[in-house]
């Protein structure tokens, strides 16, 4: 089974990225032939600072390795090291109906958030389809918000195959049960754009302060909270610990006598503990940037070999060769 996913280097990675995309991807590296890339071409639709793009690209590589991506098992690479993605994107563009893109929520959401309505942003799902189809991917682990893009990918693969003959494998999205949307500090979807995110590798003091600032209701500590499962801190705790500890925390809130301050302290503790091993690996990697660059260079070589051959298959099918 070929597994493929990507993540944009458009900011510091947060806990939502971790549970929605990185963790499931890393778990899958044992179950198939895994390819993960840093979507720097995609980041061009919203980030216009060249140095930041370079910095975030390297940070994403470091964070992935720190979180457990094993370059012996999975191929990690930078999208723009494989320019064939862009050629295939053009080929797919010419069979993609405008209406299919006009219906994509992600484009509309980004415009609503104030991003400029540039062509790259509009055509984004087509480049994403190329990213996936160019590796003959079977499975695409992403968060729920990317589901529609994987559906566009499937439609384009089917349409291309109907137009030019059987060429592309039709992929499936893969979601992690129960962890589809990680809520942020305000209860909305955690996102770098909503100022509600918790960084995976935030510094101790500011992160503690951030978690302690979660706004809750005005019920007194003594009051029983029958709706404990709805609590914002509890919803994060659910992902950061074992089911047993999660249930204990829920029961303590339900019983009453457990103040929100103590609950938030507990949340910080569990967060800090959860990412401790990754944090330690990350400190080592930061001292070893040549190693990180080498991982990306090796990854690009492996990825490019496949991308070249699938792209050539597409070029032949549609008469470019």
Catalytic residue among 23, 159, 192, 252: 192
What residues numbered 122-161 form the site for ligand TRP, per CB under 6 A? 128, 131-132, 140, 142, 146, 149
Annotation says 205 is catalytic: no
- For the CB of residue 154, give the shortest distance to ligand TRP in the complex, in Å: 12
Residues 201-220 contacting ligand ADP, CB under 6 A: none
Q: Out of ligand TRP, ligand ADP, none, which partner does residue 182 contact, by CB within 5 to 8 A per kind?
A: ligand ADP
6 binds ligand TRP (CB under 6 A): yes
| Dihedral over Cα of 10, 14, 20, 22: its sign | positive
Smallest distance, ligand TRP to C-beta of residue 3, A: 10
Q: Is 159 a catalytic residue?
A: no
Q: Taking CB within 5 to 8 Å according to partner kind, which of ligand TRP, ligand ADP, none is near residue 237?
A: none
Query: How many CB atoms are located within 10 Å of the residue 313 CB?
Result: 15
Q: Which two tokens stand for residue 189?
A: 């979807």
Q: Are 138 and 3 in contact (CB under 8 A)?
A: yes
- Candidate list 101, 170, 181, 216; residue touching ligand ADP; CB under 6 A: 181
What is the per-residue DSSP string for 2-20?
EEEEEE--SS--BHHHIII
Our finding on whether 145 is near ligand ADP (CB under 6 A) is yes
Q: Which long-range contacts (CB under 8 A, 24 or more apart) does 239-245 make?
A: 239/15, 239/19, 239/179, 239/182, 240/267, 240/270, 240/271, 240/274, 241/270, 241/274, 245/270
Q: CA 40, CA 32: separation in Å to the nearest integer?
A: 24
- Contact region for ligand TRP (CB under 6 A) — 4-12, 226-234, 241-249, 308-316? 4-12
42 binds, among ligand ADP, ligand TRP, none (CB under 5 to 8 A by kind): ligand TRP
d(CA 145, CA 143): 5
The answer to whether residue 191 forms part of the interface with ligand ADP (CB under 6 A) is yes
Contact track, ligand TRP, 100-129, x by CB under 6 A: ----------------------------x-
Distance CA 311, CA 130 (A): 9
- Beta-bridge partner residues of 139: 3, 172
189 an active-site residue? Answer: yes
Cα–Cα distance, 241 to 234 (Å, whole number): 11
| Binding region for ligand ADP (CB under 6 A) out of 142-150, 228-236, 265-273, 294-302 | 142-150
Binder of ligand TRP out of 14, 22, 42, 234 (CB under 6 A): 42
Dihedral pair phi/psi, residue 140, rounded to 5°: -125, 95
User: Could you tell me how many helices (H) and strands (E) the chain has, helices first?
Assistant: 15, 5
What is the total count of residues that contact ligand ADP (CB under 6 A)? Answer: 18
Q: List residues near ligand TRP by CB under 6 A.
A: 4-8, 39, 42, 128, 131-132, 140, 142, 146, 149
Catalytic residue positions, numbered: 110, 189, 192
């Amino acid at each position: 089974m070929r597994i493929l996913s990507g993540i944009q280097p458009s900011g510091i990675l947060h806990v939502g990225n971790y549970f929605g995309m990185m963790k499931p991807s890393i778990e899958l590296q044992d179950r198939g032939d895994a390819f993960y890339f840093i979507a720097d071409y995609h980041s061009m639709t919203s980030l216009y600072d060249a140095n930041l793009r370079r910095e975030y690209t390297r940070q994403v590589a470091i964070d992935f390795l720190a979180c457990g991506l094993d370059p012996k098992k999975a191929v990690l690479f930078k999208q723009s090291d494989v320019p064939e993605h862009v050629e295939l994107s053009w080929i797919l563009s010419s069979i993609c109906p405008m209406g299919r893109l006009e219906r994509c929520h992600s484009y509309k959401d980004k415009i609503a958030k104030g991003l400029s309505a540039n062509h790259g942003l509009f055509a984004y799902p087509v480049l994403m389809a190329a990213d996936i189809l160019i590796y003959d991917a079977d499975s695409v682990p992403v968060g729920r918000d990317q589901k529609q893009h994987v559906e566009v990918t499937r439609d384009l693969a089917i349409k291309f195959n109907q137009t030019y003959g059987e060429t592309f494998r039709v992929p499936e999205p893969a979601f992690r049960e129960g962890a589809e949307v990680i809520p942020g500090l305000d209860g909305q979807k955690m996102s770098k754009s909503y100022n509600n995110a918790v960084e995976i590798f935030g510094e101790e003091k500011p992160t503690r302060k951030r978690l302690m600032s979660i706004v809750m209701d005005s019920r007194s500590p003594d009051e029983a909270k029958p709706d404990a499962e709805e609590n914002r801190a509890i919803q994060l705790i659910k992902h950061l610990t074992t089911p047993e500890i999660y249930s204990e925390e829920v029961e303590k809130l339900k019983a009453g006598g457990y103040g929100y301050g103590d609950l938030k302290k507990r949340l910080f503790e569990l967060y800090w503990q959860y990412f401790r091993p990754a944090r330690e690996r990350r400190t080592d990697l930061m001292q070893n940037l040549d190693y990180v660059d080498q991982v990306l260079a090796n990854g690009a070589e492996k990825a490019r070999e496949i991308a070249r051959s699938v792209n050539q298959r597409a070029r032949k099918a549609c008469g470019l060769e």
